[in-house]
Structure formats: C-alpha cells, structure tokens
Structure 1
Amino acid sequence: MTEHTHTAHTVPTVPTDLLDFPGAAELIAAGDVPPPSSGIVAAAQAAVARAARGEAPPSPARPRLRPLPLARRRRVLVAAAAVAAIAAGAVAYPVLDVGGRPAATASASQFLDDMAAVASDAPAATDPQYWKVRVETVNQDDGKRTDTTFFDHEGRVWSVDPDGTVHEPPAGEKGKVKKWPVGEKWLTWPALGQLPTDEKALAALFPADPESRFEQVAILLEDSPASPQLRGALFRILADAPGVRLVGDVRDSKGRAGVAVEVTRKSWYRVGSAKPVTHRTKDRYVVDPRTGLLLETTHKLLDRDAPVDRYTWLEVGPADRVG
C-alpha cells in the first residue's frame, strides 16, 4: 500500500464577510491542517458551484439527513464548504434506515448527488454519427483483453483490432445490435433519448428490486450515449439506492485518480463453464469526480475463491468516424 505524505497547509486569508458564521474563529485559529481528499474537494466544489449559480440542491424533496442543509444563502454555503473541505478534511454522515433496510450512507448519497450535478453540467455531444467504446476486460474466461467498438444510431457495431483493422457489421439481421437494459426492455441509442430525465419517472422504468435497478443504471452510466441530463438523473437514482458505501479516494488499474463506491448484491454469475447461479458479489465503481464518468468497474464473488472481474473504461464518447 502506498503511503502518502501530507504537507501542512496554512489557511489563507479569507474575506471577513465569508467568515461571519459560528466556528469561524476556531477555523482561523486552527492554523495548519492536512489537505482534504480529492473526493471531498470535488463534493465541496460542486456545492459551491450550485450556490454560485443560485440553484437548489439536487432532489430537495428526498428526506435525507445532512449535517449542513444545502439550501441556504450563498455566503453560508461557501462557509460550510470551506469548513467541511479545509477544517475537517472528511465529513462523517449517519446511516439512514429506510423500510428496515440500511440506505446508502449519507456520505455516499452526497457524493452521488454531487456527481449528478457534475454530469448534468457536462457539455452535450453535438449529434455524433458514432459512439466509441474502448474497454479493457479482465476475467476468468477471457483473461485480459482490450476491445474497441463503434456503433451508430441504429445499433450496428464495428470492431477495431489493435493493428487498426476494422471489421464491418454483418449485413441483415445477423449483425449484433448494441442495446442497454431498462426494466424488461432493451433500448437502442435513439430510444435512450426518449427516456424521461425526471428522477421519479425514470426510476419507475427500472426493476423494483433495488439490486437489479442499481445494476441496470450502472450499465447505462458505463458506456451508453446518455445525455448529460439523463446521466444526472441516473446518478440521482443511485444516490437513493440502499446499501451503497463510499470507499473514498482510490486509483484504478491504470493509475487514474477517482472516488469509489461499493455495493454488495446478489447476481447471476457464471464461473468457468458452469451454468450461471446466484452469488453474492461486491461491486466497486470508480468515478472521476471531475467529470462524473466511470473509470472502472469490478465484481468480486464473496462466496467463491475466484478472480475479480474488471472492466476499465479507457475511452467512451462521440466519434465522427470508425477507426
């Protein structure tokens, strides 16, 4: 495990009009403090950005305990973010209970809500002709491999070899069509554009079972051409999911910095050539807090000594041509 050496920081001079809140004197007197994690900074920056734009916090109707209410005047929001990010370095949130099941810890919920804001603010792709996905996969059956695919609005899929050789999609109905699961349906690219971006209306289309709903939402966030507004709504659904734990700052298998959340669930899983059976898995999702894009997904069987399945998303986005 890599050890990190923190350099002490001196709290800079802050205009007094931003520090007229309880605890300001203690914050100034505290002097040097260790730097906050990148996840905490990203969450604080998202909160401050929302306040600066005069926006309400995401999904204010959801009952969720927070140590600091986000719906306040801009000055108090900036001060609260400064206290959380600079003085504390981390924020401890209670675990809520919804219907007898542990909900996502408030810290995980807050992070996913902030990622919803980041995703919603991302620039939209300007009607690209293709969508490109380059993913490195590691699993027991295939070993380690990298696949590069392109698909168009009709779902036709082109694959590209490492040497640049392009494989055209087969003609007619024999060709593979790229689709994503939403409830009982499998939707193509144009159909994704017809999905509602209201969180409640969107959540109603996914399975009622929270574990299956989490899986389908995560699949869409991994590699689909969902619009920024749709991605924001998907993250808000995850923020309400039960049992999500915030891991915190991590690096993926490529050394990229991200913030991870974990969820334990049951899923159909095939080990080797055996028939798929139900297993408990611990799924980890590493998110880039600057963009809201998924960097890596891993699935670990909890009841079998089997290698972790890993999907590292190297490139996901619009493309003007194949190749």
Structure 2
Amino acid sequence: MTKRDVLRTLAEARPHRLDPSRVPPLPDLPALQALARPRARRPRGLALGAATAAVAAAGVALAVLTTGGENPTQPVPPPPVAGSSAAPIGNLLLLAAERALAEPPATGRYWRTQTETGETRHLAAYDVTIRMAMDDWRAAAGGGVSVGRYLGADPVDEAAWRAAGAPTSWRDGDVTIEKAPGGQFTRALPANAGFMLAGRPVTAADLAGLPTEAGALRGELVRRYGEKSLFDAAEQLVLDLPAPPAVRAAAFRVLAGIDGVAVAGPATDRSGRTGTAVVYRRQGDAGWSETRLIIDPQTGRALAEESWHEGKMLGYTLVVSAGWTDENPPAK
C-alpha cells in the first residue's frame, strides 16, 4: 500500500461505533505501521475496513482489537448506573436541548471539527492507548482539507510498563507502534466525501432537512436506520455533525426517550473538561458494552464519547470544537 492509499483510507475513516461486537478487524497492517512510526513524514490513523468508512471531518477511526482482562472468559457484571430513573435523564437532556435550541443558526463555507481520538489495545502484558488528533475542514458541498497528527501511545498501567523495562515501542504482529508522537500531514479530501450518519452518507442539506420535533425525528431515524441504530444516530447528531440547533435539540429529546439510556453522574473527559455522563448499555454475546456521552449541560454541547466493554475503556473521541467557519483551511 502506498502512502497515498494510506491517506485516502484515513480520509474515509470516522471515530464512531467502537463497540467490540460491531468493529471489524484491521485489514491493513502496513498502513498501521505508517501511523506508528514517528519518523514517517505523514503518519496516519488506524485503517479500518469499508464497514466503518466515513468522513474524516469527525476525526480518525480507531478500531478496537482487544477487550481482554486477565481472564476474558469470565464475564464482568455491569455495575449499577446512577440516576437511571426517567426524571434525571429527562432533566439533563431536556436542559441540553433548550441550550441547543437557544443557539442562533450558523453558516459558513466549511464545517470544521477538531478532535482527538484514542484506542486502547492489549500489547505485551499490559494495555496501551494510541492517540490521534485531527483538524478537518469539510465544505458543505463536499471536499475540503484534513490535517492529522499522531500523538503517540501511552501505557495504561505505568507500573506494568516500567516492570517490563519501559519500552519505547511495541510490536503488534508485523507492526511497530512507537510511544513517541509523530509528525503531521495535510491532504485534500475528495469532492464526493460527505458526512456519515449511522453508517450512511448524508449531506449538510440532508441534516438541515431532518425533523425538528422529537417524535417525528425519532420516527425518521428509525425508518432510515432501524430501531437498533436509534441511539447511534441521535448521538451523532449531537456530537459532531453539522445538524442545525433545532435538529440537535430534537436529537437530545430523542435520546431522553430511549430505553436503557441513563445518567451516570459528573464526569471528566480525557482533556480534563467536566460535564455529565449519559450512558447507553448493550448486552451482547461478548458481554456488556457501554457508550458514554459526556455533555456540558450549560452549553448543550457534547464534549466526548467513550466506548467501554466489561468495565474497561476501549476508545474515546474528544470533540475539541465543531462549527461552521468562513476561514480558509490550511493549504493542501
């Protein structure tokens, strides 16, 4: 695979849906190696197959390859979720809806998202978190510019890492993952690259045309994507897609009405920002998994998404900023 192929794969990747039951394996180990080595001139995100291909406007997709504990055959029972009654979840999400609705509609030439995405995988005898930063400029009609930077990899258990000799790189099959950060690249996005909602392409106009009443929006999302994808679709609308304020407000209200969604209480994202975590738990053949959406109720903005399995964080997406702008993107 050439560097051009690697970057094209990155441009089509999206950091969503990290639940282990739905993430395909990495098909492209040489592409991962290009990311992992900081001496490479243009590091890239972890390559995923077509099942998770989407726009880079939301960041780089990070596949989850491992969930293991010391004994993965023994399921970990899910802990109780605080605030699981209807009133707290409704109060939080309805407040976020009101904050979103109060925002004036915005326009611009580019939908710009600045994100950090991380993946945790089991390397050697301990877990390592691999991180990537993206600054994406997506034109409303398609195309744009993507800027990516490899942020390095860090052991989750520092004591275990030091006991192993504090290595500065790890082998994963034929791939070397470096601890040190890498360089930066800038590339043009294809003109036909749009946005993705629940795994399907949409345009900014499609998003603007979604219903602004919660019941109607829920019905439309179920019709398009199915009941099982309702949470995913509504969450993406409030996380980092260019949905107008009224649509985002309706999406918050949809989330408030989904069975299994609960408030987990105050939370801090990986960058130190504080908010309130809303969780959605699923039980599958591989055990229970959980998506956590950290919301700032004062602004009605989603700060981060985290994916957990059996009590262990597998991946995260930090939304540093997302909005329309008339500024010029970096030169390609």
TM exceeds 0.5? Answer: yes
Contact 1:132 1:149 (C-alpha < 8 Å) held by counterparts: yes
Contact 1:122 1:291 (C-alpha < 8 Å) held by counterparts: no
Contact 1:113 1:235 (C-alpha < 8 Å) held by counterparts: yes
Between the aligned partners of 1:259 and 1:193, the Cα distance in structure 2 is: 27
Q: Secondary structure, in 3 states, of the residue corresponding to 2:282?
A: strand
Contact 2:116 2:132 (C-alpha < 8 Å) held by counterparts: yes
Q: TM-score, normalization: structure 2?
A: 0.56
2:301 paired with 1:293: yes
Q: Alignment identity in percent?
A: 26
Contact 1:116 1:233 (C-alpha < 8 Å) held by counterparts: yes
Residue 179 of structure 1: CA displacement? 1.9
Where relative contact order (Cα < 8 A, 6+ residues apart) is larger, the structure is 2
Question: Aligned residue for 2:212?
Answer: 197
2:131 paired with 1:111: no
Question: Aligned residue for 2:194?
Answer: 178
- For 2:187, the aligned partner's letter is H
Question: Aligned residue for 1:315?
Answer: 321
From the superposition, tell whether residues 94 and 139 of structure 1 become closer, same or farther in structure 2 (CA, over 3 Å).
closer
Between the aligned partners of 1:314 and 1:178, the Cα distance in structure 2 is: 21
Between the aligned partners of 1:229 and 1:253, the Cα distance in structure 2 is: 29
Q: Deviations over 1:239-288 (max 9, x none)?
A: 11112221222221111121111110257xxxxxxxxx876311111011
Contact 2:307 2:313 (C-alpha < 8 Å) held by counterparts: no
Residue 180 of structure 1: CA displacement? 2.5
Q: Which runs of 5+ in 1 are unaligned?
A: 1-91, 96-104, 268-276
Contact 2:114 2:320 (C-alpha < 8 Å) held by counterparts: yes
Q: Secondary structure, in 3 states, of the residue corresponding to 1:138?
A: strand
Question: Aligned residue for 2:230?
Answer: 213
Question: Aligned residue for 1:154?
Answer: 141
Q: TM-score, normalization: structure 1?
A: 0.58
Q: Which runs of 5+ in 2 are unaligned?
A: 1-81, 122-128, 150-182
Residue 207 of structure 1: CA displacement? 2.6
2:122 paired with 1:135: no
- For 1:240, the aligned partner's letter is G
Contact 1:157 1:178 (C-alpha < 8 Å) held by counterparts: no
Question: Aligned residue for 1:145?
Answer: 132
Q: Deviations over 1:153-208 (max 9, x none)?
A: 1232411245775312246x6xxx132326x8531111111111121111111137
Q: Secondary structure, in 3 states, of the residue corresponding to 1:204?
A: helix
Question: Aligned residue for 1:235?
Answer: 252
Could you say which structure has the higher strand fraction? 2
Between the aligned partners of 1:263 and 1:94, the Cα distance in structure 2 is: 11
Between the aligned partners of 2:95 and 2:194, the Cα distance in structure 1 is: 29
Contact 2:83 2:262 (C-alpha < 8 Å) held by counterparts: no
Between the aligned partners of 2:234 and 2:267, the Cα distance in structure 1 is: 22
- The root-mean-square deviation of aligned C-alpha atoms, in Å, is 2.7
| Aligned pairs (5 A) from 1:201-280 | 201-207=216-222, 210-265=227-282, 280=288
Q: Deviations over 1:107-142 (max 9, x none)?
A: 1122111111111011221x2000111111111468
Larger radius of gyration: 1
